[in-house]
Structure 1
Amino acid sequence: MKKKAALYDPYLDVLGGGEKHILSIVKVLSDEDYDIDIFWDSDLTKEIKKRFNLTFPSLKFQSNIFKKNISVLTRTTQLASYEYFFYVTDGSYFFSLAKNNFVFCMVPSRSLYSMSVLNKLKTSNVTFISNSEFTRKHLASWGIKSKVLYPYIDKVFFERNSSIVKQKIILSVGRFFGGLHVKNHTVMISYFNKLVNSGLLNGYKLVLAGGLKKEDETYFENLKRQVKNNPNLILKPNVKFKELFNLYRSAEYYWHFTGLGVDEVKQPEKTEHLGIAPLEAMALSCISFCYGAGGIKEIVKDGENGFLFWNEKELFEKMSKILADKRQRENIQTKSQAFVRENFGYDVFQKKVKEILFNH
């Protein structure tokens, strides 16, 4: 009988960067001939393929045993059949008789990691995995030890890069919502308009792409009203992998404003916890400008493989300088591609996953 691994993520249908990260972990086990079960009441296989370009040799969606009406005994008994069990916490923790248990931590929010006496019992056989050093440090300050596992970037981002032809596009990728760590779309639109009016971005377009859920449609409608009929402002909700890939290939610059105006010490959950989208952009030669808070500082080295900024003036000044310096643009593009290839390829990720899972 084949070995089995299971996953539960209460945010699975968001299909954002965190979901890609945790799915990629179980993908490694799938490639090691494990059967993978995901506890979710609808089959998202097609959506996962379209959004993330992820496929699994053996993947099944099982009834969600983490609903409140499911008894602890039923849940615990079912988990006992698994070699590995992974879950993302929304503040809830579970008893599990799986042989190996892991909690994947993608949001450094204190409210998610309250270790009461009961929660300590529930996690006594658990290994915590953090998505960045930024997240790990915050968990450590709350008394939780974890191991850092960075994501990987799909190999297609490293192929045929010599044929890339850039256009006058500034791209930003992030879910359309007004929740925890907002992407600050309205601020981006405002900054872009100012730069166009100043003459600095003549001929450029700003493309905002990302997932959109039904409950966030009001937020999206407000963005549409801000954009109005401006042909240089383009909103792309729920783009599939192929379209997103082509946007990265076409865009000359990438903007990332998550955490803008936030105190990262007091509210770390509202910053960027790592930044998969900026990494994908860097892999395809987009020169990235990211607000300098949170985990983003682990991947963007200011002036070397991209740029960090902390206010409007700094962004405008750095944009102005790079637009006028072709040599520096080419240097940044070369270094950003090399950085992502060397540190975020699948081989690096796979090796680290096996190290954590098989030797913990």
Structure 2
Amino acid sequence: MRVALYNPGWPVMGGGEVYFGVLAEILSERHQVDLITIRPFDLRRLQERLGLHLDGVGLIEVPSEAISFPRGVREWLRNRYALARTYRTLERMTRAYDVAIALESDLPPRLAARRNILQVQVPHRRWTARDFFRALRAHRLTDVRREIARAWYFPRALRRYDLILCNSQFTARVLEENWRPSVPILVVPPPVELPATPIPWSEKREIIVSVARFFRGGHEKNQWVLLAAFRAFVVRHPGWELHLVGGADASGETVVAELERSARGLPVIFHVNAKREEVRRLYRLGKVFWQATGFGVDEHREPERVEHFGIALVEAMGYGCIPFAVGRGGAREIIEPGVSGFFWETIPELVERTAAVVACEEAARMSVRAAERARMFGREAFRERFFTALARVLSGPSIHGVPATR
């Protein structure tokens, strides 16, 4: 069976790329798999960063003049035409495949394989008339243009797919409540790499770890909040270190530079674009994992700005780190409060709860419970959930009225 995996964000090497990368890895064991991209990227670097094995997987680049963030009406219109041309090419190309899977939460392409699956990572709320009015009053014209395009295009695009996969119940609920798709929705949480054996609490050090990309906008990771919390924490608990780990592109390097200036004088270590083995080492040594995505956000008004699932959160738990996350979005499906981790809402609360937990005898047992909880989201669980979903779409009727395979 020939399978195409289209992702416009392959160069980002974030959570979506972990999802699709592992998908490519497990599908390539039995099928011919091609990764399709509209932006060039280094496949070898992708494998090193995300711990993937993609030998035998093809890479096809579809040249595109579309850009991510057009400015002004003229550039926005040019971009719409460029994206339309790109999508027509994708549609023609995917006719040669038995299954095509697209990762696109904004403007999904029209695919023409025998079976077509859309994987939605980011839950977008449908704007109301009041939202448009407020945006116009604030002169947020770029947002207005984007939401007009989404309101017209997104529900029509959903009808072109045989199945929608979501990364969490949270994403699925937002999608269902706002867009009411006519095709089935299944939740298949992302695959998480876990250690083969438990990490003893005695091997861990006074280290707090946070793993998240460095960027601004959208569901930004708010490392500046963690710096503020650590500044207060380390005064009372000297000897602890904060390790900030994450990928950064050219714009992200500016964010890193600002954070480094803010962290001067503190025992804070930055690991920018760290290789996978370095991330594993830090998980192994860390006692605590901090996450600040969604801090101060109303998830009902801006669901796209909270954590949609939380791959790094589960990874850290798998290595026995005690997690502290903002209690919004996908994190609520992972952490059992007071059992396998904690939620927090304010910086003082994060500081106080962390201090209380690391000082108590229960910490080692909670570390074990966190690791046990993470097993629910391991790669084997992902494999089973995905192939169940694939069997469903292959056995059911196609929107194109053609057999599933040749």
- TM-score normalised by length of structure 1: 0.91
Distance 2:14 2:87 in 1: 29
**Map of 1:153 onto structure 2:** 192
Over residues 19-74 of structure 1, what are the superposed CA-to-partner deviations in whole Å (9 max), with x where a residue is unaligned? 10122223221122323332345353211211111112421211216652746654
Give the equivalent residue in structure 2 for 1:301: 336
> 1:341-356, aligned counterparts within 5 Å?
341=375, 343-356=376-389
Q: Which residue of 1 aligns with 2:24?
A: 26
Shift of 1:252: 0.9
Change (3 A) 1:103 1:162: same
**1:176-191 equivalent positions in 2, closer than 5 A:** 176-191=214-229
The AA in structure 2 aligned to 1:256 is: Q
For 1:60 and 1:205, locate their aligned partners in 2 and report how far apart those are by CA, in whole Å. Answer: 42
2 CA distance for matches of 1:84 and 1:8?
A: 11
Partner SS for 2:287: strand
- Alpha carbons of 1:214 and 1:72: their partners in 2 closer, same or farther (altered >3 Å)? closer
Aligned to 2:324: 289
For the aligned residue pairs, the C-alpha RMSD in angstroms reads: 2.2
Q: Does 1:102 align with 2:138?
A: no
1:134-149 → structure 2 map (5 Å cutoff): 134-142=170-178, 143-144=180-181, 145-149=184-188
* AA matched with 1:239: A
Determine helix, strand or coil for the equivalent of 2:100. strand
Which segments of 5 or more consecutive residues in structure 2 lack a partner in the other structure?
66-81, 127-146, 394-406
What is the alpha-carbon distance in structure 1 between the residues aligned to residue 369 and residue 88 of structure 2?
53
8 Å contact from structure 1 (residues 253, 286) kept in 2: yes
Q: Structure 2 counterpart of 1:307, which letter?
A: F
The equivalent of 2:100 in structure 1 is 85
Please tell me whether the aligned partners of residues 99 and 114 of structure 2 are also in contact (alpha carbons under 8 angstroms): yes
1:130 aligns with 2:166: yes
Please state if 1:225 is matched with 2:261.
yes
The question of whether the paired residues in 2 share the 8 Å contact of 1:36 and 1:58 is answered with no
User: What is the SS of the residue equivalent to 2:284?
Assistant: helix
Within-5 A mapping of 1:169-318? 169-197=207-235, 199=236, 201-230=237-266, 232-318=267-353
For residue 79 of structure 1, what is the amino acid of its counterpart?
Answer: T
- The one-letter code sitting in structure 2 at the alignment partner of 1:332 is M
Paired residues, what number?
A: 352
Give yes or no for contact 1:127–1:146 (8 Å, CA) kept in 2.
Answer: yes
TM-score in terms of structure 2 length: 0.81
SS in structure 2 of the partner of residue 116 of structure 1? helix
Q: C-alpha distance in 2, partners of 1:148/1:265?
A: 20
TM-aligned CA distance change 1:172 to 1:284, over 3 Å: same
* Alpha-carbon distance change, 245 to 164 in structure 1, aligned in 2, over 3 angstroms: farther
SS at match of 1:313: helix
Residues 32 and 178 of structure 1: is their aligned pair in 2 closer, same or farther, counting only changes over 3 Å? same
Q: C-alpha separation between the residues in 2 aligned to 1:40 and 1:187?
A: 34
**Structure 1's 79 and 305: CA in aligned 2 closer, same or farther, altered over 3 A?**
same
- For the Cα contact (< 8 Å) 2:218–2:305, is it kept in 1? yes
Stretch of structure 1 that moved more, 92-101 or 279-288: 92-101
- Secondary structure of the corresponding residue to residue 303 of structure 1: coil
CA distance in 1, matches of 2:226, 2:372: 28
**What's the counterpart of residue 90 of structure 2?**
75
Structure 1: state its 5+ residue gaps: none
**Could you tell me which residue of structure 1 aligns to residue 33 of structure 2?**
35
What does 1:106-117 align with in structure 2 at a 5 Å threshold?
A: 106-110=121-125, 114=150, 116=152
Over residues 220-279 of structure 1, what are the superposed CA-to-partner deviations in whole Å (9 max), with x where a residue is unaligned?
Answer: 21111111243x011111011000000100111100011010011111111111100010
CA separation in 2, counterparts of 1:72 and 1:135?
Answer: 25
Choose 255-264 or 330-339, whichever is displaced more: 330-339
CA distance in 1 between counterparts of 2:158 and 2:101 reads 14
| Cα distance change on mapping 1:257 and 1:125 into 2, 3 Å | closer
**Structure 1 residue 93 displacement after superposition:** 2.8
| Range with greater deviation from structure 2 (331-340 or 63-72) | 63-72
